[in-house]
Structures are given as structure tokens and as C-alpha cells.
Structure 1
Amino acid sequence: MTIVSLIKRLNIRQLFKLIGLGLQKPLYIIPTFIATKRTLAICDSLYGGEHHLHGKANAFRHSLWNVLICQRVLKVSGDATKSEYWAKMITDLHEKLAPNEPLEQVMDLHNNELGRMYFKKLKDATEGEIISFLELKIKNAKKVLEVSKFHNYSNDLVYIEED
């Protein structure tokens, strides 16, 4: 799903939420957009369309997206905590505006959170280093089929379907 197609699906209330968020931190919008486009390009290159499903490629995409948003916004904000908070606001809003089934949504939120956690280690890493790091993490990702089980994997990427 592209950003434009997502925006077209929004109702007026959702659109105002998105605009309101952008008005709060207008300087963060372009870095966020660039991080989002770069995430999709990397995942398309590595996984084709599989990253749009609910497997390991999707877990990789969500964690990468959060790391890249944090990294790009850090260049503007100069504050890692503010960058992480912004990434959380944006990615949580995305999950609210483009809702999945409960299991899928919990998976996405979990992997988003891990991406922000990984950012703490990867703040100064190159894109290649980030990709290598996440590829190692994805090898140990855990398959989870119940919402109540996600808390058991607080340090692991998770997925719900085989790629």
C-alpha cells in the first residue's frame, strides 16, 4: 500500500489526526517520508511482495521502518528520545489508520517497538549495517499465533505466517 492510497482511504477525522501530527513537528515530516520510501525500496529489493504479508519479511520491514525513522528524525531533532517518540507516534497512528486483525496489529506494534529499541544500538550505523543486524535478528524471529503470547518474546521479532 502506498502512502497516497492510504491517505485516500482516510475519513475526515483520520485525515485531521494525520495533519495535526504533521503540524506538531513539521520538520519531521520529510525525514519520515524519506525513511518510509527507503524502507519500502529495501524490502521490495530483499523480499519482493512478501513483506506485505505477515511473515518474517513483514517483521523485518516494521523494525527497519522504525530504525530509519528514528535515524532520519535524529538528524533534525538532535535528540534520540524525541526521535523514538516521533517514530512511535507515527507508526502507532499508522496501525490505527490502516487496521489489521488483532493478531496482525499486535505483531506490527511489537516489531515497531523492537525497531525503536534496536535504534539505540544502531543510531550511528550505516544502512548496510542496519540491514545486516536485522537480517540476523530475523533468523531468530519467533512464530506467535496468540495475542497473549507476544509478551514472551519481548526481545525477539515475531511473525504469524511462514513466508
Structure 2
Amino acid sequence: MAIWARIKQLDLKQSFILGKTFLFKPGLLLPTYRATKNTVEICNQLFGKAHHQDNKTNAFRHALWNFLIAEASLPQCKEKNKAIAWAKEITDLHEKLSPNPKLPRAMDLHNNKIGRKLFEQGVTSTKIIEKLEAMMNEAQQINSTKEVIEGKLVFIEKCLNK
């Protein structure tokens, strides 16, 4: 997921929606970008390209991404609940602007929520990777949105590389 490449793929309407989102919260642009870049770098280092599929490593990435956005935006937002709300807003927007089928979108939204919940619960940035790796071992494979289990990472496809 090259960040700028993904942004360049947006059509005019999508670009306007994204721009408008940051127009009202310009101080969150850089922390969000850095958290996104950091997430991709960590996942590339841990999983190679495997995290671009709908597998456990993708679940890890989405949870980590939300955690890191909330953490990075906390100094600007000043309150934990506002940082969590921002992480939800921007990652929900990503899912809205991404051409994902229903089940992968539901999977991503669920795993995003897990990352925000871990931030809310006070998991530290020094422990988040360890925590998510442990959660990956307990991740639930799903075939429908009805199979999603609260508090567990979910995935669709088995990972061939991990």
C-alpha cells in the first residue's frame, strides 16, 4: 500500500472528500500520514507483501493502523476519546473510498475497531506488536459477517507466507 499511489488513484469526488476531511483538521494530516507510513513499514518488515491479502497479517495491519493513528493524533486531539474518534473517522473514510466487496470491508472495519479498542484500553506502543501477534494466533477465519466474534481479529483467507 504505497500511500501516495493510493491517493493518486482517487477520483475527483473522492479527492474532494479526503481534502475536506483534513481541511477541518489540518493538524491531524501529518500524524495520520506518519502513522500510516509506520504501519506499512512495520507490516512490510514483519510479513513482506502478505499483509495485502485478506488474511491474518491484514487483520494485524488494520488493527495496528488504527492504534497508531489514535496514538499519533492524541497530542493534537488532547483527549483519548477524540483521538479514537479521529482514527475511526479517517479509517472508515478509507473503507468508504476503497473498492472493497462487502465481506472484506466488514473484516477491515472490525479489525480497525480492535486497534482502537486496544488503544482505549491503554496497551502501550511498546507492547502493541506483541499483543497483536498474540491475537493473530487466535484470529477467527470467517465466511460471512455473521461469524465475526467481538474482541478477536478476523480474516477471510489463509496466509500462505506466514
What TM-score, normalized by structure 2, do the two folds share?
0.94
Question: Which residue is equivalent to 2:157?
Answer: 161
Shift of 1:122: 3.4
Question: Which residue is equivalent to 2:89?
Answer: 89
Shift of 1:8: 1.6
Alignment coverage as a number of residue pairs: 159
Counterpart-to-counterpart distance in 1, 2:140 and 2:91: 21
Of Structure 1 and Structure 2, which has the larger fraction of its residues in helix?
Answer: 1
Question: Which residue is equivalent to 1:42?
Answer: 42
Question: Which residue is equivalent to 2:130?
Answer: 132
In the TM superposition, what whole-angstrom CA distance separates every residue of 1:114-150 from its partner, at most 9, and x where no partner exists? 1111111235x13x31101111111111000112222
1:5-154 equivalences under 5 Å are: 5-122=5-122, 125-126=124-125, 128-150=126-148, 153-154=149-150
Instruction: Structure 1: state its 5+ residue gaps.
Output: none
3-state DSSP of counterpart to 1:61: helix
Counterpart-to-counterpart distance in 1, 2:85 and 2:99: 21
CA contact under 8 A between 2:3 and 2:37: conserved in structure 1? no
Counterpart-to-counterpart distance in 2, 1:75 and 1:94: 22
Counterpart-to-counterpart distance in 1, 2:41 and 2:122: 20
Quick one: which amino acid aligns to residue 108 of structure 1?
D
Quick one: which amino acid aligns to residue 87 of structure 1?
A
Counterpart-to-counterpart distance in 1, 2:109 and 2:6: 18
Counterpart-to-counterpart distance in 2, 1:46 and 1:7: 24
Quick one: which amino acid aligns to residue 73 of structure 2?
V
Shift of 1:15: 0.6
Instruction: Structure 2: state its 5+ residue gaps.
Output: none
In the TM superposition, what whole-angstrom CA distance separates every residue of 1:2-24 from its partner, at most 9, and x where no partner exists? 12121221111111100000011
Counterpart-to-counterpart distance in 1, 2:158 and 2:32: 29
CA contact under 8 A between 2:84 and 2:120: conserved in structure 1? no
Percent identity between the aligned chains? 43
3-state DSSP of counterpart to 2:158: coil
Quick one: which amino acid aligns to residue 18 of structure 1?
L
